[in-house]
Amino acid sequence: MACCLVGCGAPAEVRPLPAAMPTSQPTSRLAADKPPTLPAPDPVPAPATPAATDRPAAPRDISFDDLKLDLQKGDPFSRDLLPARVTALETTRIRIRGYILPSFQQTGLTQFVLVRDNMECCFGPGALLHDCVVVRMIPGKTATFSIRPVAVTGTFQVQELRGPDGRHLAIYTLNGEAVE
């Protein structure tokens, strides 16, 4: 069987190129008046611009303190309570640290609640709406439960989640890309 890859097989013989032969007289008057020309250099390539397939920009690191509202337990939520620092985060890639709220499923989590502290939960006593983020992993990505704090990267949104009684359970969501 013959090898078809370049570089396979016996090395090829390398021969030097012949030197240019000087001419005693120019072939025309124009050629004698013009200095020899060199080929034009290749143009300098333009700086690379990020393509849509390039890696996205680094996420902005935030904490639950950045999401805090001027809201007391039991106060009704309305969007006008959102400070500019929170609304400015909408559709931004962020990374936030917290704890995964325990559930019956331990692996392959496609959605979960990330809470500020492992001693409180947005669905239980003592927690406020800004103490949790509902994480929905993007298609093809999953998370594994951990009792240790995790860092979740994804796109932040303000999205109200209400219970059957109409009361708010959560107001923040994250389209999760990675859980570390």
The per-residue pLDDT for range 79-88, each reduced to its tens digit, is 999 999 999 9
- Mean pLDDT, rounded, for 90-94: 96
Q: Is it the case that residue 96 has pLDDT exceeding 60?
A: yes
Q: Nearest CA to 143 among 93, 103, 89?
A: 103
Whole-model pTM above 0.85?
no
**Structure confidence by residue, pLDDT tens digits, 7-64:** 444 444 444 444 544 444 544 455 455 554 555 555 555 555 555 556 678 999 999 9
Residue 73 is predicted with a pLDDT of 78
Domain parsing of the chain, residue ranges: 76-179
Average pLDDT of the chain to the nearest whole number: 78
Q: Mind listing the pLDDT tens digit for each residue in 63-75?
A: 999 999 988 877 8
76-179, CATH topology level: OB fold (Dihydrolipoamide Acetyltransferase, E2P) (2.40.50)
Please give the Cα distance from 112 to 175 (Å, whole number): 11
At residue 157, the pLDDT reads 97
Phi first, then psi, for residue 62 (nearest 5°) are: -130, 170
| C-alpha span between 159 and 161 (Å, rounded) | 6
Contact 156, 174 (CB under 8 A): yes
At residue 104 the predicted structure's pLDDT band, cuts being 50, 70 and 90, is very high
* CA–CA distance, 171 with 129 (Å, rounded to integer): 6
Residue pair 73/130 in contact by the 8 Å Cβ criterion: no
**Residue owning tokens 């927690």:** 127
Report yes or no: 150 and 120 within 8 Å, Cβ to Cβ: no
